[in-house]
Structure 1
Amino acid sequence: MIRIAQDLTSSSWAPVPQSYSHKRNADETLLTSWQRTGPDRFLIKAGWPGDHSFYTTGADGTDPLLFSETVRQCLPVLSHAAYDVPLGHHLLWETYDYSLAESPSAPRDITLHIDCTDISRRGTRAGAATAHIRALHGDSLIGTATTRFTIQTPAVYRRLRGEYADVAHALERRLPLPAPLPEQEAGRERPYDVVLSPTDIPGRHQLRVDTGHPVLFDHPVDHVPGILLLDAARQAAHAASRVRPVHPIGMTTRFFRYVEFDAPCWIETAVDPAHPDRLLVTAWQNDKECFTASVALAATQATPAANAPHTGRGAA
């Protein structure tokens, strides 16, 4: 039976150790404290920065990438604090869906209400779980998310990854950094934060993986982080929209395989055939589908309703 780290009758909050968020830089740790409210129910408090070099924290509403990074940090924190997962284990995203509520500005203090379901266990340790998350500022809903993730021991991870598990070797084989898409097209303010590179094919970009980026690569890893793929989907959707700037108010994403450093990864954007009001962003590497995101967009300023996302081609 899983060990319960806190007394269920206790209303006290336990601090979140920085190491539990899998962030080396303390300034990038967003979660502050947590408590258990049931066998698989939790509250986690987060503090969002008033200003940040990478995340948008101004008057345009909740930054979807800041929201997603907050959700992502909940997964290792709960794994280590509540489900007996030792440090050094690997967490892998399978699915991640989110929806943001309308928000005139991004708040600073967030409380995340989390229910974990479909938990598989290896002994006392969790091996996989689905997390259902509601993020609130006071009584105001900021957004919701549902994500499925799995947990692998270091030995299993090394066996699955083979030579790619060697971080130093993986970084040695990374491709030269291509030129960035113009930041205005990507919806970014600095070329440094652009994760797409232009190609000659409409609706297609090359993934731009800058392993020296201090936020996206807070610490060395052996493959492209999931949060970078989420930003690629956001930037690709922004580039494909007739109206700019736009705000991704929702995504339905699936992670199929690792994106490696040693081969080009192509980001293709088309109207989602299942949801014509959304864009479908797909990542391909070595002719294999690695990641998909169905992106719902909203304009950040008043625009004619007739304006809709467009691309020059369908998905390959």
Structure 2
Amino acid sequence: MPITTEPHVATRPALTTTVAREYVHRAALSEVLLTGWTKTGRDAFTVTAQWPRSHSFYVSEHGMHDPLLLCETARQAGTLLAHVGYSIPLGHQLSWSRVQFAINPHALRVEGTPADIELHVTCSDIRLHRGVPVTMTMHMEAVRSNSLLAVASVRFGSHSPAVYQRLRAGKGDTSEVFARAPQPPEPVSRSTVGRLRKQDIVLAPTPNRLRWQLRVDTSHPVLFDHALDHVPGMLMLEAIRQAGHATEPERAGTIMPTSMDVSFNRYIEFDEPCWIEAESVDTPASLSGNRRTIRVAALQSGLCAVNATAELTETTSL
């Protein structure tokens, strides 16, 4: 008797890739952290990401991922969803007005494989113009291995090319502004900010111990992945982190930012010096010795362009 069997159907493995670099405003494919997205509700999404075990700029230290990888992931997620979730055209300028995050440092530990991250995003306070958002807030919960990694929120505005040209009147073409950016001043010492490479230091010294000049190196391959006409937000987050280290340089290699609340009030221009000022704030947590809080302001032309509060945690206590 002949034996009949069901035909064998080969199953294809699930394949993973990154999202298009254009959707996260990156030139280098190697700097794209996001791997996918799905819509889960009217204004709700899940975005997936992967963090490398080692990164050239967001360096893993003390066996832990850099907390600012979360901020870059949140930035990319906000940009991606603005385009694919809300049809904001490519070519529109997206500008932060406020960024907040609080991170669980225990979930930052580097393991034997890259860290797979899920961002659960809900969008609110959406203001539309001709059906396209011009301002909105994205609230994010980051999950790793079913554990809460962080909560974050990003509020930003979107400007069409014509509106942005009017907003930036007198600044000229982006490539020209970028090309004319002055050379950065000499940095503070590596030990002051816990950075090994001169190129990664974003503060230059002044006679005041708690005041620095912002060091803008437009040749930096990560902070300036492509031409811009102003200082990017991620550079300012790095400046806040380094200011926290520089307030107590003897602890610079052993502390990390575990929360920030940052308001972006004005664009920071290339052609004028920007001054970073910091002060420590006493809180019940800081008095314990494991955590401390700082306030940071970025001043340009006598105006406060960025102001922030950040909490720094001693890694040896984790």
TM-score normalised by the chain length of structure 1: 0.87
- The 5-angstrom pairing of residues 162-311 of structure 1 reads 162-241=169-248, 243-244=251-252, 245-272=254-281, 277-302=292-317
Structure 2 CA distance for aligned equivalents of residues 120 and 66 of structure 1: 29
Alignment of 1:118-129 (within 5 A): 118-129=125-136
Structure 1 residue matching 2:217: 3-state secondary structure: coil
Q: Deviations over 1:194-215 (max 9, x none)?
A: 0011111120000000000000
Q: Give 1:181 deviation, angstroms.
A: 1.1
Paired residue secondary structure (2:152): strand
Letter in 1 for 2:268: V
C-alpha change, 1:118 and 1:75, in structure 2 (3 Å) is same
2:78 and 2:154 in contact (8 A); partners too: no
Tell me the residue number matched to 1:5.
Answer: none
Give runs of aligned pairs for residues 15-94 of structure 1, distance below 5 A.
Answer: 16-94=19-97
Q: Which runs of 5+ in 2 are unaligned?
A: 1-15, 287-291
Structure 1 gaps, min length 5 = 1-12, 304-316
1:199 maps to a residue whose letter is: T
Range 49-58 or range 168-177, more displaced: 168-177
Q: Which has the larger radius of gyration?
A: 2
1:185-240 per-residue CA deviation (whole Å, 9 max, x = no partner) reads 11212111000111111200000000000000000000000000000000000111
CA distance in 1, matches of 2:233, 2:172: 16
Task: Supply the distance in 2 between the matched residues of 1:122 and 1:151 (Cα, whole angstroms).
Answer: 10
Identical counterparts, % of pairs: 40
Q: Quick check: 1:249–1:297 contact (8 Å CA) kept in 2?
A: yes
- Match of 2:30, SS? helix
SS at match of 1:211: coil
- Are residues 130 and 226 of structure 1, via their aligned partners in 2, closer, same or farther at CA, if it must alter by over 3 Å? same
Does the 8 Å CA contact 1:15/1:34 hold for their aligned counterparts?
Answer: no
Work out whether residues 96 and 146 of structure 1, in 8 Å CA contact, stay in contact via their aligned partners in 2.
yes
Matched position secondary structure for 1:77:
helix
CA contact (8 A) 1:49 1:57 kept: no
SS at match of 2:316: coil
User: Is the alpha carbon distance of 1:263 and 1:123 closer, same or farther for their aligned partners in structure 2, counting shifts above 3 Å?
Assistant: same
State which of 134, 142, 147 in structure 2 corresponds to 1:135: 142
- On the 8 A contact 2:62/2:315 being kept in 1, the answer is no
Aligned residue type for 1:17: A
Task: Supply the RMSD in Å over aligned alpha carbons.
Answer: 2.0
Mapped partners of 2:62, 2:220: distance in 1: 25
CA contact (8 A) 1:272 1:294 kept: no
